[in-house]
Amino acid sequence: MNYKENLDTSNIPEHVAIIMDGNGRWAKEKGQMRLVGHATGVESVREALTAASEINVKYLTLYAFSTENWNRPKSEVDGLMDLLVTTIANELESLNNNDVRLMTIGNTDDLPDGCRNELLKAIEKTANNKGTVLILALNYSAKLEIKEAIKRIAKEYKEGNIGLEDVNDELVSNHLYTAGIPDPELMIRTSGEIRISNFLLWQLAYSELHFTPIYWPDFKKEDFYKAIYEYQNRERRFGRIGEQLNELDKND
């Protein structure tokens, strides 16, 4: 089935988040070094980004490196950081040609200098682009993000700038790295793992979750469209019952 052609263009998610997983196993199955898997995974980033742009997904968040990933062997961490630098440098022109804006979430201050500088340059040079926003989660931890938000909110309370009555969903959201960005309607994880791995815990509260056994380096545009197609065939009830949704549709 051609998933793209069968998509309902009036129901495209505004924000899709992806846990790009399975690079290591993909490489191992091919008798290659893990880093070959990561390098091949860059192809899949292009696939997902092009697919998202083609159907006007406004925000695409990709989990590229977690705070827990520092625990990997040093050679792998170094290889990932080098890959990030070369990929950003190589892709900058193409990001601009495709009107893609680059952003990051996570503690990027603690990335190696070379990485941080390359990222800052690309963020600045794509800042005025109006197409899809590519958000890389780098040195990212959802628990850390929430702790930092709590600290800032507590400080504002202590300084008398906000009261307890001001603490609502919007206030919390506005103190996260993703402030101003809508929560993802859809989260995809590749490689068959069925867990969240400290990714966007607040923002995924009501997201549809799509798990696929495909390893990230094998993930293609059509797999992205398939995930969107399946998302469109889910019933998002937000606590209501199905019959109420039909009533709401009628009143549209």
Among 63, 219, 224, 229, the residue binding ligand IPE under the rule CB under 6 A is 63
Sorted by sequence, the CB contacts under 8 Å of residue 62 that are 6+ apart come out as 17, 18, 20, 45, 48, 134, 135, 136, 137
Binding string, residues 153-182; x marks residues near ligand IPE by CB under 6 A: ------------------------------
Which residue lies nearer to ligand IPE by CB, 25 or 125?
A: 25
Q: Where does residue 191 fall: left (phi above 0), alpha (psi -120 to 50 degrees), or beta otherwise? A: left
25 binds ligand IPE (CB under 6 A): yes
Among 67, 191, 203, 207, the residue binding ligand IPE under the rule CB under 6 A is 191
Among 20, 21, 91, 178, the residue binding Mg ion under the rule CB under 5 A is 21
Q: Where does residue 211 fall: left (phi above 0), alpha (psi -120 to 50 degrees), or beta otherwise? A: beta
19 binds ligand IPE (CB under 6 A): yes
**E-strand stretches of the chain:** 15-19, 59-66, 101-105, 133-140, 186-189, 208-211
Residue type for position 32: Q
CB atoms within 10 A of CB 170: 9
Binding string, residues 118-147; x marks residues near ligand IPE by CB under 6 A: ------------------------------
106 binds ligand IPE (CB under 6 A): no
Q: Tokens representing 170?
A: 């919007």
Q: CA neighbours within 13 Å on the CB side: how many for 227?
A: 29
> CB 153 → ligand IPE: shortest distance, Å?
27
Q: Which stretch binds Mg ion (CB under 5 A): 20-28, 94-102, 104-112, 138-146?
A: 20-28
Query: Which residues are identified as catalytic?
Result: 21, 69
20 binds ligand IPE (CB under 6 A): yes
- Cα 110 to chain centroid, rounded: 20
217 binds ligand IPE (CB under 6 A): no
Which residue lies nearer to ligand IPE by CB, 84 or 153?
A: 84
Answer whether 100's CB lies under 8 Å from 57's CB: no
Q: Strand, coil or helix: what is 220?
A: coil
Among 17, 51, 80, 227, the residue binding ligand IPE under the rule CB under 6 A is 80
> Strand 15-19's sheet: what is its strand order?
101-105, 133-140, 59-66, 15-19, 186-189, 208-211
Among 32, 50, 69, 98, the residue binding ligand IPE under the rule CB under 6 A is 69
22 binds ligand IPE (CB under 6 A): yes
Contact residues for ligand IPE, defined by CB under 6 A: 19-25, 63-66, 69, 80, 191, 193, 195, 197
Contact residues for Mg ion, defined by CB under 5 A: 21
